Amino acid sequence: AQMERTFIAIKPDGVQRGLIAEIISRFEHKGFKLVAIKILVPSKEFAQKHYHDLKDRPFFNGLCAFLSSGPVVAMERESKYGRKLIGATDPQKSEPGTIRGDLAVVVGRNIIQGSDGPETAKDEINLWFKPQELVSYKSNAEKWIYE
């Protein structure tokens, strides 16, 4: 399989609960390659852009207010597999062993965002990162992770 670039963000609840290292370590231990990372407080307008697909949903306003309510850790990763580590949107339906299944309780505080496919990943990366913020390098661990 081709290396996929995905956007991942630790939401304000994950940051405030002190779960940054816990969440990053799960990806790092799995073997995902980190190519960009930063911490920022997104504006409400920025959150609305990020969640534009959901603008007609009843929870849209609360969701955008929540995402812009505090610091978010935004990352881009390269991997061959998608969202399995994150778990289902509703933490009550997320399997144990997943980030949401282990660390979150309700859908409105599900601590992490992950792109749901290659197309949305591209859009989200373009929204959150400038091209010069992405670091290009060869991962020396790659031949020990993939065959």
CB of 89: closest distance to Mg ion in angstroms? 7
Which of the listed partners (ligand DAT, Mg ion, none) does 108 bind, with a CB threshold of 5 to 8 Å by partner kind? ligand DAT
Partner touching 81 among ligand DAT, Mg ion, none, CB below 5 to 8 Å by kind: none
Instruction: Classify residue 135 by its DSSP letter.
Output: P
Do residues 94 and 88 make contact, with C-beta atoms less than 8 angstroms apart?
A: yes
The first and second tokens of residue 138, run together, are 């060869």
Which of residues 102 and 116 has its CB atom nearest to Mg ion in the complex?
Answer: 116
Q: Is 57 annotated as a binding residue?
A: no
Task: Judge whether 11 and 67 are in contact, CB under 8 Å.
Answer: yes
Nearer to Mg ion, 23 or 139 (CB): 23
**Footprint on residues 80-119 left by Mg ion (CB under 5 A):** 116
Could you give the dihedral angle defined by the CA atoms of residues 145, 142, 20 and 126, in that order, rounded to the nearest 10 degrees?
-130
List interacting residues with ligand DAT (CB under 6 A).
54, 59, 63, 89, 107-108, 110, 113, 116
First to last CA, the chain: 11
Choose the one of Mg ion, ligand DAT, none that binds residue 59, judging by a C-beta under 5 to 8 angstroms depending on kind: ligand DAT
Q: Is 83 annotated to bind ligand?
A: yes
Long-range CB contacts for residues 63-67, cutoff 8 Å, separation at least 24: 63/108, 66/11, 66/12, 66/13, 66/108, 66/109, 67/11, 67/12, 67/42
Supply the minimum distance, in Å, between the C-beta of residue 135 and ligand DAT. 25
- Check whether 140 is labelled as a binding-site residue: no
Q: Which residues are annotated as a binding site?
A: 11, 59, 83, 89, 100, 110
Q: Which residues are annotated as a binding site for ATP?
A: 11, 59, 83, 89, 100, 110
